[in-house]
Structure 1
Protein backbone atom coordinates (compact mmCIF):
# COMPACT_ATOMS: atom_id res chain seq x y z
CA UNK A 1 0.00 0.00 0.00
CA UNK A 2 1.22 3.48 -0.78
CA UNK A 3 1.15 5.39 2.52
CA UNK A 4 2.66 8.49 0.85
CA UNK A 5 -0.56 8.91 -1.12
CA UNK A 6 -2.53 8.71 2.11
CA UNK A 7 -0.40 11.32 3.87
CA UNK A 8 -0.94 13.79 1.03
CA UNK A 9 -4.69 13.45 1.43
CA UNK A 10 -4.97 14.01 5.21
CA UNK A 11 -7.05 17.17 4.80
CA UNK A 12 -9.37 15.33 2.40
CA UNK A 13 -9.79 12.54 4.96
CA UNK A 14 -10.72 15.11 7.61
CA UNK A 15 -13.34 16.51 5.22
CA UNK A 16 -14.88 13.02 4.88
CA UNK A 17 -15.22 12.78 8.67
CA UNK A 18 -16.69 16.29 9.19
CA UNK A 19 -20.33 15.27 8.59
CA UNK A 20 -19.97 12.53 11.22
CA UNK A 21 -18.37 14.93 13.71
CA UNK A 22 -21.25 17.39 13.24
CA UNK A 23 -23.81 14.89 14.53
CA UNK A 24 -24.89 15.69 18.06
CA UNK A 25 -23.39 13.13 20.44
CA UNK A 26 -20.38 12.13 18.33
CA UNK A 27 -17.27 12.43 20.50
CA UNK A 28 -14.52 11.23 18.16
CA UNK A 29 -14.15 9.84 14.67
CA UNK A 30 -10.98 8.41 13.16
CA UNK A 31 -9.72 6.48 10.16
CA UNK A 32 -7.36 3.60 10.81
CA UNK A 33 -5.57 1.09 8.64
CA UNK A 34 -6.37 -2.57 9.23
CA UNK A 35 -2.86 -3.02 10.64
CA UNK A 36 -3.73 -0.57 13.41
CA UNK A 37 -2.11 2.62 12.14
CA UNK A 38 -4.04 5.88 12.40
CA UNK A 39 -4.51 7.97 9.27
CA UNK A 40 -3.74 11.61 9.91
CA UNK A 41 -2.85 13.47 13.06
CA UNK A 42 -4.60 12.16 16.16
CA UNK A 43 -4.22 12.17 19.93
CA UNK A 44 -3.30 9.34 22.34
CA UNK A 45 -6.90 8.10 22.47
CA UNK A 46 -6.93 7.90 18.68
CA UNK A 47 -3.73 5.84 18.71
CA UNK A 48 -5.30 3.34 21.11
CA UNK A 49 -8.52 3.23 19.10
CA UNK A 50 -6.61 2.64 15.85
CA UNK A 51 -4.53 -0.17 17.26
CA UNK A 52 -7.40 -2.02 18.91
CA UNK A 53 -10.13 -1.45 16.33
CA UNK A 54 -8.21 -3.36 13.67
CA UNK A 55 -7.79 -6.34 15.99
CA UNK A 56 -11.44 -6.29 17.09
CA UNK A 57 -12.80 -5.97 13.56
CA UNK A 58 -10.47 -8.72 12.34
CA UNK A 59 -11.60 -11.07 15.11
CA UNK A 60 -15.30 -10.41 14.50
CA UNK A 61 -14.89 -10.81 10.73
CA UNK A 62 -13.14 -14.15 11.28
CA UNK A 63 -15.85 -15.33 13.69
CA UNK A 64 -18.63 -14.43 11.24
CA UNK A 65 -16.78 -16.24 8.46
CA UNK A 66 -16.17 -19.35 10.62
CA UNK A 67 -19.84 -19.73 11.51
CA UNK A 68 -20.96 -19.05 7.93
CA UNK A 69 -23.08 -16.08 8.97
CA UNK A 70 -22.52 -13.80 5.97
CA UNK A 71 -20.19 -10.84 5.79
CA UNK A 72 -19.71 -8.43 8.71
CA UNK A 73 -20.77 -4.94 7.65
CA UNK A 74 -20.20 -2.92 10.80
CA UNK A 75 -19.57 -3.50 14.46
CA UNK A 76 -21.59 -1.60 17.08
CA UNK A 77 -20.48 -1.88 20.70
CA UNK A 78 -22.76 -0.41 23.35
CA UNK A 79 -21.25 0.56 26.70
CA UNK A 80 -22.58 2.40 29.72
CA UNK A 81 -20.89 5.58 28.37
CA UNK A 82 -21.95 5.35 24.73
CA UNK A 83 -21.37 3.49 21.51
CA UNK A 84 -18.40 2.53 19.36
CA UNK A 85 -19.17 1.96 15.70
CA UNK A 86 -16.51 0.41 13.46
CA UNK A 87 -16.98 -0.02 9.73
CA UNK A 88 -14.44 -1.46 7.34
CA UNK A 89 -13.59 0.61 4.26
CA UNK A 90 -12.27 -1.62 1.50
CA UNK A 91 -9.84 -4.26 2.71
CA UNK A 92 -7.29 -1.99 4.37
CA UNK A 93 -9.07 0.73 6.38
CA UNK A 94 -11.82 1.30 8.92
CA UNK A 95 -13.75 4.28 10.24
CA UNK A 96 -14.28 4.29 14.00
CA UNK A 97 -16.92 6.52 15.61
CA UNK A 98 -17.25 7.06 19.37
CA UNK A 99 -20.54 8.50 20.59
CA UNK A 100 -22.49 9.48 23.68
CA UNK A 101 -25.19 7.10 24.84
CA UNK A 102 -28.10 9.16 23.47
CA UNK A 103 -26.83 9.63 19.89
CA UNK A 104 -29.17 9.16 16.92
CA UNK A 105 -27.78 5.83 15.66
CA UNK A 106 -29.86 6.02 12.47
CA UNK A 107 -28.21 9.32 11.55
CA UNK A 108 -24.79 7.81 12.31
CA UNK A 109 -25.48 4.81 10.07
CA UNK A 110 -26.70 6.99 7.19
CA UNK A 111 -23.81 9.44 7.44
CA UNK A 112 -21.27 6.65 7.91
CA UNK A 113 -22.51 4.96 4.73
CA UNK A 114 -21.79 8.16 2.78
CA UNK A 115 -18.39 8.60 4.46
CA UNK A 116 -17.38 5.03 3.57
CA UNK A 117 -18.33 5.58 -0.06
CA UNK A 118 -16.35 8.84 -0.23
CA UNK A 119 -13.35 7.32 1.53
CA UNK A 120 -13.28 4.30 -0.78
CA UNK A 121 -12.93 6.60 -3.76
CA UNK A 122 -10.00 8.37 -2.09
CA UNK A 123 -8.16 5.28 -0.85
CA UNK A 124 -8.35 3.07 -3.93
CA UNK A 125 -6.24 5.38 -6.15
CA UNK A 126 -3.64 5.69 -3.35
CA UNK A 127 -3.55 1.92 -2.84
CA UNK A 128 -2.98 1.33 -6.55
CA UNK A 129 -0.35 4.08 -6.93
Structure 2
Protein backbone atom coordinates (compact mmCIF):
# COMPACT_ATOMS: atom_id res chain seq x y z
CA UNK A 1 0.00 0.00 0.00
CA UNK A 2 2.74 2.48 0.92
CA UNK A 3 4.56 1.74 -2.32
CA UNK A 4 1.47 2.45 -4.41
CA UNK A 5 0.65 5.71 -2.58
CA UNK A 6 4.13 7.21 -2.59
CA UNK A 7 5.14 5.95 -6.03
CA UNK A 8 1.91 7.41 -7.38
CA UNK A 9 2.33 10.82 -5.75
CA UNK A 10 6.03 10.90 -6.60
CA UNK A 11 5.38 10.11 -10.26
CA UNK A 12 2.66 12.77 -10.51
CA UNK A 13 5.06 15.36 -9.09
CA UNK A 14 7.90 14.28 -11.37
CA UNK A 15 5.60 14.69 -14.37
CA UNK A 16 4.75 18.24 -13.30
CA UNK A 17 1.41 17.68 -11.60
CA UNK A 18 -0.04 18.52 -8.18
CA UNK A 19 1.61 21.92 -7.59
CA UNK A 20 0.59 25.30 -9.02
CA UNK A 21 3.35 26.10 -11.52
CA UNK A 22 3.22 29.22 -13.60
CA UNK A 23 2.23 32.81 -13.12
CA UNK A 24 0.05 33.50 -10.10
CA UNK A 25 -0.62 36.16 -7.56
CA UNK A 26 -1.53 35.28 -4.01
CA UNK A 27 -2.74 37.30 -1.04
CA UNK A 28 -2.84 36.20 2.56
CA UNK A 29 -6.25 37.89 2.79
CA UNK A 30 -7.91 35.74 0.12
CA UNK A 31 -5.95 32.48 -0.08
CA UNK A 32 -6.56 29.43 2.07
CA UNK A 33 -3.74 27.31 3.50
CA UNK A 34 -3.96 24.70 0.75
CA UNK A 35 -3.52 27.29 -2.00
CA UNK A 36 -0.55 28.83 -0.21
CA UNK A 37 1.19 25.46 0.10
CA UNK A 38 0.60 24.48 -3.55
CA UNK A 39 1.83 27.90 -4.68
CA UNK A 40 4.92 27.67 -2.46
CA UNK A 41 5.94 24.25 -3.75
CA UNK A 42 5.10 25.29 -7.29
CA UNK A 43 7.20 28.45 -7.08
CA UNK A 44 10.22 26.38 -8.11
CA UNK A 45 9.49 23.71 -10.69
CA UNK A 46 12.82 22.07 -9.87
CA UNK A 47 11.95 21.83 -6.16
CA UNK A 48 8.45 20.56 -6.91
CA UNK A 49 9.85 17.75 -9.03
CA UNK A 50 12.55 17.05 -6.44
CA UNK A 51 9.85 16.38 -3.85
CA UNK A 52 8.44 13.79 -6.24
CA UNK A 53 11.82 12.12 -6.54
CA UNK A 54 12.11 11.97 -2.76
CA UNK A 55 8.77 10.14 -2.63
CA UNK A 56 9.42 7.79 -5.54
CA UNK A 57 12.93 6.58 -4.67
CA UNK A 58 12.20 5.44 -1.09
CA UNK A 59 8.96 3.86 -2.33
CA UNK A 60 11.00 1.78 -4.78
CA UNK A 61 13.26 0.70 -1.91
CA UNK A 62 10.22 -0.85 -0.23
CA UNK A 63 10.03 -3.45 -2.99
CA UNK A 64 13.11 -5.35 -1.80
CA UNK A 65 13.43 -6.90 1.65
CA UNK A 66 17.09 -5.87 1.73
CA UNK A 67 16.27 -2.17 1.26
CA UNK A 68 12.76 -1.95 2.76
CA UNK A 69 13.93 -0.52 6.09
CA UNK A 70 15.91 2.20 4.34
CA UNK A 71 12.86 2.99 2.22
CA UNK A 72 10.64 3.10 5.31
CA UNK A 73 13.07 5.49 7.03
CA UNK A 74 13.06 7.79 4.01
CA UNK A 75 9.30 7.69 3.66
CA UNK A 76 8.84 8.28 7.37
CA UNK A 77 10.68 11.58 7.05
CA UNK A 78 8.64 12.54 3.99
CA UNK A 79 5.29 11.46 5.41
CA UNK A 80 5.91 13.11 8.78
CA UNK A 81 6.56 16.40 6.99
CA UNK A 82 3.41 15.95 4.89
CA UNK A 83 1.34 15.07 7.97
CA UNK A 84 2.49 18.10 9.93
CA UNK A 85 1.91 20.33 6.91
CA UNK A 86 -1.57 18.87 6.32
CA UNK A 87 -2.64 19.48 9.90
CA UNK A 88 -0.95 22.89 10.18
CA UNK A 89 -2.54 24.25 6.99
CA UNK A 90 -5.95 22.72 7.55
CA UNK A 91 -6.13 20.23 4.72
CA UNK A 92 -9.39 18.28 4.61
CA UNK A 93 -9.64 14.50 5.12
CA UNK A 94 -6.30 13.85 3.43
CA UNK A 95 -4.52 14.82 6.66
CA UNK A 96 -5.82 11.64 8.27
CA UNK A 97 -4.58 9.54 5.36
CA UNK A 98 -1.11 11.06 5.70
CA UNK A 99 -1.18 10.33 9.43
CA UNK A 100 -1.96 6.67 8.68
CA UNK A 101 0.89 6.50 6.15
CA UNK A 102 3.28 7.98 8.71
CA UNK A 103 2.21 5.41 11.31
CA UNK A 104 2.60 2.59 8.76
CA UNK A 105 6.15 3.75 8.02
CA UNK A 106 6.84 3.80 11.74
CA UNK A 107 5.43 0.27 12.01
CA UNK A 108 7.80 -0.95 9.27
CA UNK A 109 10.74 0.71 11.01
CA UNK A 110 9.76 -0.89 14.33
CA UNK A 111 9.87 -4.31 12.67
CA UNK A 112 13.64 -3.87 12.22
CA UNK A 113 14.20 -2.10 15.52
CA UNK A 114 16.81 -4.59 16.75
CA UNK A 115 18.86 -4.33 13.55
CA UNK A 116 18.71 -0.53 13.63
CA UNK A 117 19.73 -0.39 17.28
CA UNK A 118 22.62 -2.76 16.61
CA UNK A 119 23.76 -0.72 13.62
CA UNK A 120 23.54 2.75 15.14
CA UNK A 121 23.72 2.48 18.92
CA UNK A 122 25.26 -0.79 20.03
CA UNK A 123 28.32 -0.58 17.80
CA UNK A 124 29.88 -3.34 15.71
CA UNK A 125 29.72 -6.90 16.94
CA UNK A 126 33.02 -8.22 18.28
CA UNK A 127 34.41 -11.63 17.50
CA UNK A 128 34.84 -14.00 20.44
CA UNK A 129 38.36 -14.08 21.79
CA UNK A 130 39.31 -10.59 20.54
CA UNK A 131 40.23 -7.96 23.05
CA UNK A 132 39.44 -4.30 22.47
Same fold (TM over 0.5): no
Structure index of larger Rg:
2
State TM-score, norm by structure 2. Answer: 0.30
State TM-score, norm by structure 1. Answer: 0.30
Greater share of residues in helix: 2
Higher relative contact order (CA 8 A, sep 6+): 1
Greater share of residues in strand: 1
